[in-house]
């Protein structure tokens, strides 16, 4: 039962990062985005962006057949050579990264490092103001040697660019609640990812 709960919690964690369903830090929005809520011009995003920082804190609570589970995760990038390339309406991701994951389940904390090499992915995106709609996933990982990829279809994402257009930031503070087949789950996600423009 413990592995099932950890697997479920990791699935929730993966969903958080693959969907990139993140909220906006309004202090970093460039003037182009601030002045036009219906901006569909992706030109400021086109190019290559390297992942320089990512961290997340996730609290997952679930109940199934009267049994309650609570898990906490803390994830951060410890090393990254991972590149996100935006074109006019498509994107690709490729490279390597290391994650430091700290998980707590039933008051037992485990910390480990996972390395991912030769990761590749692709998808489509569009923007309207500071909202990005993404169809695909940005990050993948595996659990107990099983590759895990989640493609949740179109997801809305809030993003910001630094004033000089060289730093792209995604922030997320979200609570997700699901109730399927008698299993109720609530996930509280707080995360940030920062990407630096390469060209």
pLDDT confidence of residue 40: 56
CB atoms inside a 10 Å sphere around CB 61:
16
Residue 116 vs residue 171, higher pLDDT: 116
CA distance 80 to 112: 16
pLDDT band at 141 (very low <50, low <70, confident <90, very high): low
Q: pLDDT tens digit string along 51-90?
A: 999 988 888 898 888 888 888 988 899 999 999 999 999 9
pLDDT confidence of residue 66: 84
CA distance 15 to 144: 17
Q: pLDDT tens digit string along 4-42?
A: 344 344 444 444 444 343 344 444 444 444 444 434 568
Tokens 């804190």 belong to 57
- Model confidence pTM above 0.75: no
| 46: its two tokens | 């086109």
Query: Residue 35, class by beta-carbon neighbours within 10 Å (0-12 exposed, 13-18 middle, 19+ buried)?
Result: exposed
What percentage of the chain has pLDDT greater than the value 90? 32
Return the closest-CA partner of residue 84 out of 195, 164, 199: 195
What's the average model confidence in pLDDT over 97-115? 90
| 132: its two tokens | 């990005």
**Phi and psi for 17 in degrees, rounded to 5?**
-90, -30
**Phi and psi for 27 in degrees, rounded to 5?**
-70, -20
């Amino acid at each position: 039962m413990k592995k099932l709960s950890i697997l479920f919690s990791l699935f929730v964690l993966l969903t958080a990062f693959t969907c990139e369903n993140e909220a906006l830090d309004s202090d970093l929005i460039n003037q182009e985005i601030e002045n036009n809520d219906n901006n569909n011009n992706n030109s400021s995003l086109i190019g290559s962006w390297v992942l320089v920082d990512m961290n997340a804190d996730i609290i997952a609570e679930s109940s199934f057949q009267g049994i309650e589970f609570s898990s906490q995760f803390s994830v951060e990038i410890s090393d990254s050579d991972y590149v996100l390339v935006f074109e006019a309406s498509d994107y690709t991701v490729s490279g390597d990264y290391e994650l430091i994951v700290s998980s707590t389940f039933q008051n037992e904390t485990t910390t480990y490092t996972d390395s991912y090499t030769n990761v590749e992915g692709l998808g489509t995106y569009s923007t309207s103001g500071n909202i990005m709609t993404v169809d695909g996933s940005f990050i993948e990982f595996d659990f107990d040697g099983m590759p895990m990829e989640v493609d949740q279809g179109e997801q809305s994402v809030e993003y910001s660019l630094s004033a000089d257009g060289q730093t792209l930031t995604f922030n997320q503070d979200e609570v997700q609640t699901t109730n399927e087949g008698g299993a109720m789950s609530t996930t509280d996600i707080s995360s940030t990812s920062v990407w630096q423009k390469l060209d």
